[in-house]
Amino acid sequence: MTTTTLAVLVPLLPFLGAAAGLLLGRTAPGFVRPLAVLPTLAAAVLAVLVASRQGGGRPIDAATQLTPTGSVPIDLALHLDGFAVLVAVLVGLVATCVQVYSTAYLKDDARYPSYAALVSLFTSAMLLVVYSGDLMVLLVGWEIMGICSYFLVGHYWETPEARAASLKAFLVTKLGDVPFLIGLFALAADTGTFRITGILAAVNNGGLDHPTLIALLLLAGVAGKSAQFPLHTWLPDAMAGPTPVSALIHAATMVAAGIYFVARLLPVFAASAAALVVLAAMAAVTMIGSGLAALAQDDIKRVLAYSTIGQLGYMSGALAVGDRGAAVFHLLSHGAFKAVLFLSAGVVIHAAGTNSLAAMSRMSGLTKRIPDAFWTMTVALLALAAIPPFAGFFSKEAVLVAAEHTAFGDRDVAPAAAGWLVLVAGLTAAVLTAAYATRLWLLAFRGRGPEAADHGRQPAAMTSVLWVLAVPTIAFGLTTGVLVDWFDGHSLTPSLTTAVLSTGVGLVGGLVTYGAWRHTTAHAERPPVGAVAAHPDAEPALVEAEAITSHTAAYGTIAGAPDPSDPGRLLLGPLHRHAVTGFHLDALYTALFVRPTAAAAQLVRFLDREVVDTYVRGSGGIARGLGTLVRRAQTGNVQTYLGALLAGSLVLAIAAVVLANVYAGA
Amino acid sequence: MHLAYPAVLAVLLFCTGLYGVLARRNAILVLMSVELMLNAVNLNLVAFDVWLRDALHGGQALTLFTIAIAAAEIGIGLAIVLAVYRNRGSSDIDSLRDTAETDDAETLPDEVDADAVRDTTADQATAPAGKAKKAEATA
């Protein structure tokens, strides 16, 4: 088979798997698991084959016209360059791991068939986005991912948190997608094509008339999808979905789609210095804000969610300094280690019966119960904190080196201001990243108190994929030298200055957190507050859903917990109160958008009920009033009727006489 | 004899009858007034028959018809009045109002509005009173 055929099969197989899963889910439950895992696995293998055949050489392009539109044609096009094939391998790998993990995680779930089919559909859409060479087709995959995310976040729709979170995720990303669509049209209007190759050629020839406008419009969609400030608020709430969904969609792949999109069209963004500075500022705010917020969260998955936002900030920072190689490198390594983090967090939640770090810090022996999750999570946290020699170190270094070169004028793709912004924010965020990674590890695995209850061994399907994903987490950094050929050719190797600097600040962050923990852990006398699932022996997904519900019930909020032994509380000081709520952005959006919308709805309701309905009811009332008047004549007295009859005939007679005289006279 | 005398007498008779039909309360008197009106017409028929010197005396023939029909009519009428009186103990025309349309008779089964619910409850409150009135009338 040709490489093109293989590449077409990659998104097609999970799609067929999803369709078959949705059709057969009820009638043939035995086929659901194979239908979920096998097409995704096959797609992953094919993606690896495509990647090895493409080999980082010249991009492979293939296209067939989808439909004649009269103006800009829409093509079913493939554009396989080094970025596309590698990201597809990541998507295939993580999706396969997540499907395998889900077979155990949701083993007793009644809605597993539709869940697995939606995950397959999502995988297919993401692969379509990755391979597509036509922006309209890319948009189709982009929106399918959005709707799949909506369904999967709301998987536990019995809980109010999940319902609210799924709606919020959908609405906030759509808020970014509207400018995104307009930006795509503006781009097509300027360049005359939706094909990525055509657009890039037009940009090289200076064919863009409004580069800043287009770039900013597209950035709105990217900010929504990739959870960048100010449209990031949906991602922490989206943790109300099942853990495998968080791992696949809200950590490794979908949120990376925005970054990937910018990477594909980087010359369009690079044509506008203003857009790059805006992107850099967005990335800087995102990195630092999410780091602070992550330090204050109590839900283990929310810590990871804020950390995802921060790492995506690194990727946008790399794009803002014009180095897409570094951005996609970080995307790949982050996809691997964040998937490990989320999946092992799922194991931890199941074993501990709670998602609250405060409750975990009062349990001992969790490491003995779940050694696989403990070791893989430790490795992944080290990668997250960018400690050498793990993958996160190399990819984060690539970003910081690119920022440093831009700041000092060695690279002139982006303005030096963008470089400085990304460099300073990146180093600050490195401290915060190390701090919250250390806090998460200490609270989850170094708790003191009664032994954690034994719920038996975790299923092999859940623990084995952790080790599969741990391999790239550990070793991916060693491929730095080879990866250069697949990307633009900029060196990705760390430089001594930034390596020492960022590892140093990272170590400082970690040590300070450790010191704070040693200091505060003396306060941990209080017995654990009761945020523990009601049925800890049930299937993992149910335990998680119950944990989410009980967390709100015990602490009043899903984000924080009144825990005096939390080192984050000591480190953040007065900032802690604001960081827990994500710096009150949700409250701000409620005041700015939600309340006016609700008030407008109230107004419309009032107008409908009181104004429009008044006319409707009035017409009925008038008819009834006339009826009442006419009814007065029906007295039932025969003499009255006769009197009226006489009066009428008299009038008629007089009229006849008068008229006869008038006509006779005329 | 001039035509004016019987004509004026006929008018007087008719008006008396008309007044009786419209104003009297007793059903028998109303029937008698109807007879007066019929006889005013008969008088006119005979007078004009004479005045026009009709060879076939159509007016007189028609008068005989009218008298026969009036006799039948008064027989049926009195029978009805008798039946009504036996039923109700009264032959007062003013109290025979069973065909009257009243506000109480209005019902709105389809309305679900809050106002309508309030109206219906009011209707239900007054409806028994109206029914009682009717029951009293039919007794």
State pLDDT tens for residues A570-593: 777 788 888 788 888 888 888 888
> What pLDDT digit, counting tens, does each position of A503-523 carry?
888 888 888 888 888 887 766
> What pLDDT digit, counting tens, does each position of B99-124 carry?
777 766 555 555 444 444 444 444 44
By three-state DSSP, how is residue A451 classified? strand
Measure CB to CB from residue B103 to each of A628, A636, A642 and give the nearest one. Answer: A628
> What pLDDT digit, counting tens, does each position of B53-64 carry?
888 899 999 999
Q: Is B4-95 in CATH node 3.90.1150.10? A: no
DSSP assigned state of A354: -
Distance CA(A158)–CA(A162), nearest Å, equals: 8
Q: Give me the pLDDT at residue A273, please.
A: 86
Cβ of B22 and A646 within 8 Å?
yes
Q: What does the H/E/C string look like for A75-111?
A: EEEEEECHHHHHHHHHHHHHHHHHHHHHHHHCCCCCC
Measure CB to CB from residue A637 to each of B97, B102, B113 and give the nearest one. Answer: B97
Q: What count of other Cβ atoms lies within 10 Å of the Cβ of residue B90?
A: 14
Interface residue of A628, A629, A635 to substitute, partner B, most B CBs within 10 Å:
A635
Q: Which residues of A touch B18 (CB under 8 A)?
A: 646
pTM for the model: 0.78
First-to-last C-alpha distance (Å) of chain B: 56
A74-83, A473-482, B116-125 — which is least confidently predicted?
B116-125
Residues of B with CB under 8 A from a CB of A: 18, 21-23, 30, 93-94, 96-103, 106, 113, 115
Write down how long chain B is: 139
Mean pLDDT across A47-66: 82
Q: Which residues of B touch A613 (CB under 8 A)?
A: none
A23-32, A108-117, A555-564 — which is least confidently predicted?
A555-564
Cβ of B22 and A617 within 8 Å?
no
Q: Which residues of B touch A646 (CB under 8 A)?
A: 18, 22
In chain B, list all ranges with CATH 1.10.287.3510: 4-95
Residues of A with CB under 8 A from a CB of B: 617, 624, 627-628, 631, 634-639, 642-643, 646
Q: Which residues of A touch B100 (CB under 8 A)?
A: 634-637
By three-state DSSP, how is residue B26 classified? strand
> What pLDDT digit, counting tens, does each position of A618-652 carry?
999 999 999 888 888 888 888 888 899 999 999 99
Nearest C-alpha neighbor of A77 from the set A67, A89, A90: A67
Q: Give me the pLDDT at residue A514, please.
A: 87
Closest B-chain CA to A643: B22
Mean pLDDT across A463-482: 82
Measure CB to CB from residue A642 to each of B22, B101, B113 and give the nearest one. Answer: B22
> What pLDDT digit, counting tens, does each position of A227-245 carry?
888 888 888 888 888 888 8
Closest B-chain CA to A635: B100
Q: Which residues pair with A319 in a beta bridge?
A: none
State the pLDDT confidence band at B134, using cuts at 50, 70 and 90.
Answer: very low
> What pLDDT digit, counting tens, does each position of A524-543 carry?
555 555 556 666 666 777 77
State the pLDDT confidence band at A477, using cuts at 50, 70 and 90.
Answer: confident
Q: Give me the pLDDT at residue A354, please.
A: 81
State the pLDDT confidence band at A133, using cuts at 50, 70 and 90.
Answer: confident
Q: Give me the pLDDT at residue B114, please.
A: 47
By three-state DSSP, how is residue B92 classified? strand
DSSP assigned state of A30: G
Q: Give me the pLDDT at residue B127, please.
A: 45
Cβ of A637 and B98 within 8 Å?
no
Cβ-based contacts under 8 A for chains A and B = 37
pLDDT over 90 percentage in chain A: 24
A5-9, A99-103, A519-523, B106-110 — which is least confidently predicted?
B106-110
A72-76, A342-346, A375-379 — which is least confidently predicted?
A72-76
Q: Give me the pLDDT at residue B123, please.
A: 45
Distance CA(A441)–CA(A517), nearest Å, equals: 11
Cβ of A637 and B100 within 8 Å?
yes
Mean pLDDT across A543-561: 72
Mean pLDDT across A554-562: 69
pLDDT greater than 90 at residue A463: no
Nearest C-alpha neighbor of A335 from the set A248, A237, A463: A248
Taking the CA atoms of residue A616, residue A619, residue A620 and residue A624 in that order, the dihedral angle to the nearest 10 degrees is 160
Q: Give me the pLDDT at residue B35, please.
A: 93
> What pLDDT digit, counting tens, does each position of A195-229 carry?
888 888 888 887 788 888 999 999 998 998 888 88
Cβ of B97 and A635 within 8 Å?
yes
State the pLDDT confidence band at A312, using cuts at 50, 70 and 90.
Answer: very high
Cβ of A642 and B23 within 8 Å?
no
> What pLDDT digit, counting tens, does each position of B74-99 carry?
999 999 999 999 998 888 888 888 77
Closest A-chain CA to B113: A617
> What pLDDT digit, counting tens, does each position of A140-197 carry?
999 999 899 999 988 888 888 888 889 988 988 898 999 999 999 998 888 888 888 8
The ipTM assigned to this model is 0.70
Distance CA(A120)–CA(A36), nearest Å, equals: 7
Contacts of residue A399, Cβ cutoff 8 Å, sequence gap at least 6: A314, A315, A317, A318, A323, A326, A327, A330, A422, A426
How many secondary structure helices (H) and strands (E) does chain A include? 30, 2
Cβ of B98 and A628 within 8 Å?
no
Cβ of A634 and B22 within 8 Å?
no
Measure CB to CB from residue B100 to each of A636, A642, A646 and give the nearest one. Answer: A636
Cβ of A639 and B23 within 8 Å?
yes
Interface residue of B29, B81, B97 to substitute, partner A, most A CBs within 10 Å:
B97
- DSSP string across A169-223: HHHHHHHHHHHHHHHHHHHHHHHS--BHHHHHHHHHTT--S-HHHHHHHHHHHHH
pLDDT greater than 70 at residue A250: yes
pLDDT greater than 50 at residue A304: yes
Largest CA distance in chain A: 124
User: Do residues A320 and A279 make contact, with C-beta atoms less than 8 angstroms apart?
Assistant: yes
Q: Give me the pLDDT at residue B104, please.
A: 66
pLDDT greater than 80 at residue A57: no
Q: Give me the pLDDT at residue A529, please.
A: 53
Measure CB to CB from residue B98 to each of A628, A631, A636 and give the nearest one. Answer: A636
Mean pLDDT across A611-617: 92
Mean pLDDT across A54-78: 80
Closest-CA distance of chain B to residue A638, Å: 8
Sign of the dihedral defined by the CA atoms of residues A513, A519, A522, A524, in that order = negative
Contacts of residue A17, Cβ cutoff 8 Å, sequence gap at least 6: A35, A36, A38, A39, A40, A117, A120, A124
Cβ of B113 and A643 within 8 Å?
no
Q: Give me the pLDDT at residue B128, please.
A: 46
> For all residues of chain A together, what is the average pLDDT?
85
Beta strands in chain B (DSSP E): none
Q: Give me the pLDDT at residue A658, please.
A: 94
Closest A-chain CA to B105: A631
Distance CA(A646)–CA(A640), nearest Å, equals: 10
pLDDT greater than 90 at residue A325: no
How many secondary structure helices (H) and strands (E) does chain B include? 4, 0
Largest CA distance in chain B: 77
